[in-house]
């Protein structure tokens, strides 16, 4: 395998691992079982059936039909090149006048929970052909919010927290990047620690929340490292294992000391 093919293979493998972790999290938090302001494939199909008349009005779906009408959903072409392919759109503001002119409203495409990963990945990693440079949190969310509705900000933050390349950039200074490569790899946050950390020595395995995905990505990441270090120190004192790495905060930046 030549170097170019190996590079693409590693990239695809990394994307697959990110997808599996993020997709599981998204379904757990925004799936049909959760009462969130998001749209799954199942709900998307029901909305479409209501709009096309494939689901007739009944007493059982009256509340859902009222919600669909209040939101102002409509079907429209995915793009002008192929009018036969349609998708759901929703106005940026609630519809208050059913007789108002549709052309005066700004519509956004409805984001489906199962498609969150591809939507965010396409903007964060592949936007504008930036040559491997990933867009920041604000730039990523702004670009998504301009086109899509029903995609929460916390989903973007969660995605960025699972991006290994972004994690490395956030806790590495340019001066130390060549000398501390092995340290960088060891400090990629394990997927299992994004929501809760459970210490094995606890009798009841209590979980401590350490990441708030509604916070800005930098502050979220710093808080994560801070809590991670505190819990590691407490456990190390108990089992008498010395820490070889400590984390300190200087003017909002993260440094690593051996």
Per-residue pLDDT tens digits for 38-70? 999 999 999 999 999 999 999 999 999 999 999
Identify whether residues 160 and 103 lie together within a single domain: yes
- 89/10: higher pLDDT: 89
Identify whether residues 123 and 180 lie together within a single domain: no
Q: Which residue among 112, 129, 164 closes a domain?
A: 164
Per-residue pLDDT tens digits for 81-102? 777 788 999 998 655 555 655 5
Identify whether residues 228 and 206 lie together within a single domain: yes
Identify whether residues 57 and 148 lie together within a single domain: yes
* Confidence (pLDDT) at 246: 42
* Confidence (pLDDT) at 13: 77
Identify whether residues 205 and 228 lie together within a single domain: yes
Question: What is residue 170's three-state secondary structure?
Answer: helix
Mean pLDDT of the region 187-193:
47
The range of the structural domain enclosing residue 136 comes to: 3-164
Q: For residue 146, give every residue at least 6 positions away whose Cβ sits within 8 Å of its Cβ, in sequence order, or none.
A: 108
Identify whether residues 23 and 69 lie together within a single domain: yes
> Residue 91: phi, psi to the nearest 5?
-70, 150
Question: Do 108 and 89 touch, CB atoms closer than 8 A?
Answer: yes
Identify whether residues 7 and 102 lie together within a single domain: yes
Q: Where are the beta strands (DSSP E) in 33-81?
A: 74-77
* Confidence (pLDDT) at 80: 74
* Confidence (pLDDT) at 171: 59
- Residue from 115, 121, 147, 145 nearest 135 by CA: 121
- 248/79: higher pLDDT: 79
* Confidence (pLDDT) at 240: 46
Identify whether residues 148 and 44 lie together within a single domain: yes
Identify whether residues 191 and 144 lie together within a single domain: no
Per-residue pLDDT tens digits for 153-180? 999 989 888 877 777 666 554 445 445 5
Q: pLDDT at residue 20 above 80? A: yes
Q: Residue 115: pLDDT band by 50, 70, 90 thresholds?
A: very high
Cα separation, 87 vs 41, in Å, equals 12
* Confidence (pLDDT) at 144: 93
Total number of domains in the chain:
2
- Residue from 246, 200, 250, 203 nearest 225 by CA: 246
Q: pLDDT at residue 183 above 50? A: no
In Å, how far are 28, 37, 73, 115, 178 from 70, measured between CA atoms? 27, 14, 8, 24, 56
The β-bridge relationship of strands 148-149 and 196-198 is unpaired
* Confidence (pLDDT) at 249: 40
Cα separation, 258 vs 251, in Å, equals 20
- 211/111: higher pLDDT: 111
* Residue 232 in tokens: 């590691």
Helix axes 116-124, 3-30, angle to 10 degrees: 130
Q: Which residue among 114, 141, 164 closes a domain?
A: 164
Cα separation, 180 vs 41, in Å, equals 44
Question: Do 125 and 52 touch, CB atoms closer than 8 A?
Answer: no
Identify whether residues 147 and 196 lie together within a single domain: no
Q: What's the pTM?
A: 0.61
Q: Residue 149: pLDDT band by 50, 70, 90 thresholds?
A: very high
Q: For residue 125, give every residue at least 6 positions away whose Cβ sits within 8 Å of its Cβ, in sequence order, or none.
A: 134, 135, 163
Exposed / middle / buried, residue 74 (Cβ in 10 Å: 0-12, 13-18, 19+): middle
Give the dihedral sign, CA 155/160/164/168: negative
Q: Residue 121: pLDDT band by 50, 70, 90 thresholds?
A: confident
Per the prediction, the chain carries an average pLDDT of 71
> Residue 178: phi, psi to the nearest 5?
-80, -30
Q: pLDDT at residue 233 above 70? A: no
* Confidence (pLDDT) at 226: 66
Q: Which residue among 111, 142, 164 closes a domain?
A: 164
* Confidence (pLDDT) at 6: 42
Q: pLDDT at residue 221 above 50? A: yes
């Amino acid at each position: 395998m030549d170097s170019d093919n190996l590079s693409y293979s590693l990239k695809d493998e990394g994307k697959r691992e990110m997808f599996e972790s993020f997709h599981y999290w998204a379904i757990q938090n925004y799936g049909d079982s959760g009462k969130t302001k998001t749209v799954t494939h199942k709900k998307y199909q029901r909305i479409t059936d209501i709009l096309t008349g494939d689901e007739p009005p009944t007493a059982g779906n009256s509340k859902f039909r009222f919600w669909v009408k209040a939101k102002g959903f409509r079907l429209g072409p995915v793009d002008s090149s192929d009018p036969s392919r349609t998708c759901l759109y929703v106005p940026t503001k609630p519809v208050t006048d059913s007789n108002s002119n549709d052309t005066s409203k700004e519509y956004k495409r409805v984001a489906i929970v199962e498609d969150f990963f591809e939507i965010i990945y396409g903007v964060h990693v592949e936007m504008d052909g930036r040559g491997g440079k990933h867009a920041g949190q604000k730039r990523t969310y702004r670009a998504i919010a301009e086109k899509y509705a029903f995609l929460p900000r916390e989903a973007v933050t969660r995605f960025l927290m699972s991006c290994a390349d972004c994690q490395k950039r956030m806790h590495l200074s340019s001066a130390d990047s060549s000398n501390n490569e092995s340290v960088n790899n060891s400090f990629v946050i394990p997927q299992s620690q994004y929501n809760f950390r459970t210490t094995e020595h606890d009798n009841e395995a209590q979980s401590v929340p350490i990441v708030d995905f509604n916070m800005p990505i930098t502050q979220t990441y710093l808080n994560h490292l801070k809590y991670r270090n505190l819990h590691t120190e407490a456990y190390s004192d108990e089992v008498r294992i010395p820490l070889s790495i400590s984390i300190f905060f200087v003017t909002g930046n993260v440094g690593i000391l051996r």
